[in-house]
Structure 1
């Protein structure tokens, strides 16, 4: 299935000047005229932040200003609404954080479904039209997709057996991860990344399900000196634009932005090829012990994960089953 262009999308979505005026009438904070801020809840250096920096560079002479660490307190779950209301021109959101809005957003973080870059790419091909449609329903337009390195477990103490998960106060990043870890006895709780630092500092978290990529890793190794490479998932973040601003661009400008988004996404997949190794080197340099799970732990995780995938498929219905069938057939 082909990726639809921004030109085609903005030609069919209700974004005109009246939409901007409506947002202002609803009391939403409106940026200065011409301001193109690209916001994410993740810190500088993390893959989504890197994506926004690369998009800004590739989109010149259009001036896009990346903003990190949840500007205005806007985290992933609230980002589509913030962009649709015109608070930011572009937003980045971790896909799993949007799972309550549409189950398709949980797809990339389903446990042990896509655990290599090649599999994650194939899953994205199958899922992209559904991501586009779901984001359009939320009033925003997909620009590019950011891949994350493999998810593991950061913890205060080693995680070696299924017993080590029981009672573990663990942060997860989506509902599926929460269900999976609770099935194994963990006291799992879905939290945004921005909420993690405080909870680690006050001792109310023992562990974090995350890749710990880039700047995110720096926030974790201060409290969690162990990382278990469980190969849980390779999730994605989604960068999307405000249709009102996209519609205000000329056709040539929109085409240029589309090329910039395509180039950005391609470069992020290339970066992913070396990112995990670079992250692990930095982790070791900062005192993190990296371990692989034993066979009993991995088997328990995969069993719980398989049940979570089946539960997701039931919730997602025919549309979800079709995406999984296309992915598993290699189409």
Structure 2
């Protein structure tokens, strides 16, 4: 079945003198804009493969969920061969398996160094889980720390009460609900119409995610709560990968490695770049989070982490314990 699935992903076949030369095209979507850091990762990986494969393997990227595939649906789409590869926000993949929600746990990894260490610890577990869905990791992409975009400033914990906020996974939804907000777990594609019509008045996202969607047109305040530094995962259908000749697999592996290095290097300047764009678009950025807002979110976050630990069993507990041993 794996080899059969790979067959559906091969776009064409040219016969040469005495040998078959496959020309293969892989579609690779993401729900994020090309200007967001996951979009840049997809574009980088596609460019590297396309340049290095001599035209034998072409990666065809798409952005803004134009294929109709959101992050939570990406594993299934890649597994079924609807697309050969894809980029997905790991928090949304928690709907497939809660272990994928690790990087989105509140106030666990809020620096680049901690996010990298947590990702490296979890990678073997992610690989094992993804193998069960017939795919492998190409590369990871870190997001800048998540904050709260809002229509009105968050001056105190009372402003969280009843706040209609878009969240990005089950854990962040539980945290915001516990903090008194009215949270809804929505992809960006589903959230933006509600932001525009005013039914959603706040968004949990990084400056990167918000800038990519021009959130400043509707939500001109950003509170730097440093909720989490989550990751996105780029994966490929294992059958499609294994169907490639050995030299093309080496091209894919090298391009994936170089893309991952580029993504983790880019994050180091991304925050300043995002803040510059936000200020240029009149966003009020609040770094001095009101003490009662921070305390309310931290208390809600501790409960969410314990709930995640219980839901993931031994694997989740082991990862948290390893991470705590700094």
- Name the TM-score, length of structure 1 as normaliser: 0.90
**Structure 1 residue 328: Cα displacement:** 1.6
Structure-to-structure mapping, 1:284-299, within 5 angstroms: 284-292=279-287, 293-299=289-295
More divergent stretch after superposition (241-250 vs 166-175): 241-250
- Tell me which protein shows more strand as a share of its residues: 2
2:36 corresponds, among 16, 37, 46, to: 46
Corresponding residue of 2:20: none
Structure-to-structure mapping, 1:61-210, within 5 angstroms: 61=53, 62-210=57-205
**Structure 1 residue 323: Cα displacement:** 0.7
Corresponding residue of 2:5: 19
**Structure 1 residue 84: Cα displacement:** 1.5
Distance 1:121 1:210 in 2: 19
**Structure 1 residue 81: Cα displacement:** 1.1
Is the 2:35–2:212 Cα contact (8 Å) retained in structure 1? Answer: no
Tell me the secondary structure at the aligned position of residue 71 of structure 1: coil
Distance 1:217 1:53 in 2: 15
- Structure 1 pair 176–265 and aligned structure 2 pair: CA distance change class (3 A): same
2:301 corresponds, among 301, 305, 329, to: 305
Distance 1:154 1:215 in 2: 8
Is the 1:108–1:233 Cα contact (8 Å) retained in structure 2? Answer: yes
Distance 2:180 2:188 in 1: 22
Corresponding residue of 1:317: 313
Corresponding residue of 1:249: 244
Corresponding residue of 1:56: 46
Distance 1:161 1:180 in 2: 17
Distance 2:159 2:318 in 1: 37
Distance 1:46 1:202 in 2: 23
- Structure 1 pair 70–153 and aligned structure 2 pair: CA distance change class (3 A): same
Tell me the secondary structure at the aligned position of residue 153 of structure 1: strand
**Structure 1 residue 117: Cα displacement:** 0.2
Task: Tell me if 1:228 matches 2:214.
Answer: no
Distance 1:212 1:83 in 2: 29
Aligned residues: 309
Distance 2:209 2:196 in 1: 20
Which string of whole-angstrom CA distances, capped at 9 and with x for unpartnered residues, describes residues 104-156 of structure 1?
11100000000000000010111001111111222221110010000000000
- Aligned-pair RMSD on alpha carbons? 1.5
**Structure 1 residue 303: Cα displacement:** 0.9
Distance 2:182 2:79 in 1: 35
Is the 2:29–2:85 Cα contact (8 Å) retained in structure 1? Answer: yes
Corresponding residue of 1:238: 233
Tell me the secondary structure at the aligned position of residue 119 of structure 2: helix
Distance 2:45 2:6 in 1: 24
Which string of whole-angstrom CA distances, capped at 9 and with x for unpartnered residues, describes residues 224-279 of structure 1?
00000000000000000012221221112112211111111111110000001100
Is the 2:107–2:301 Cα contact (8 Å) retained in structure 1? Answer: yes
Stretches of structure 1 that go unaligned for 5 or more consecutive residues are 1-13, 25-29
**Structure 1 residue 32: Cα displacement:** 3.7
Distance 2:304 2:216 in 1: 29
Is the 1:36–1:65 Cα contact (8 Å) retained in structure 2? Answer: yes
Is the 1:150–1:211 Cα contact (8 Å) retained in structure 2? Answer: yes
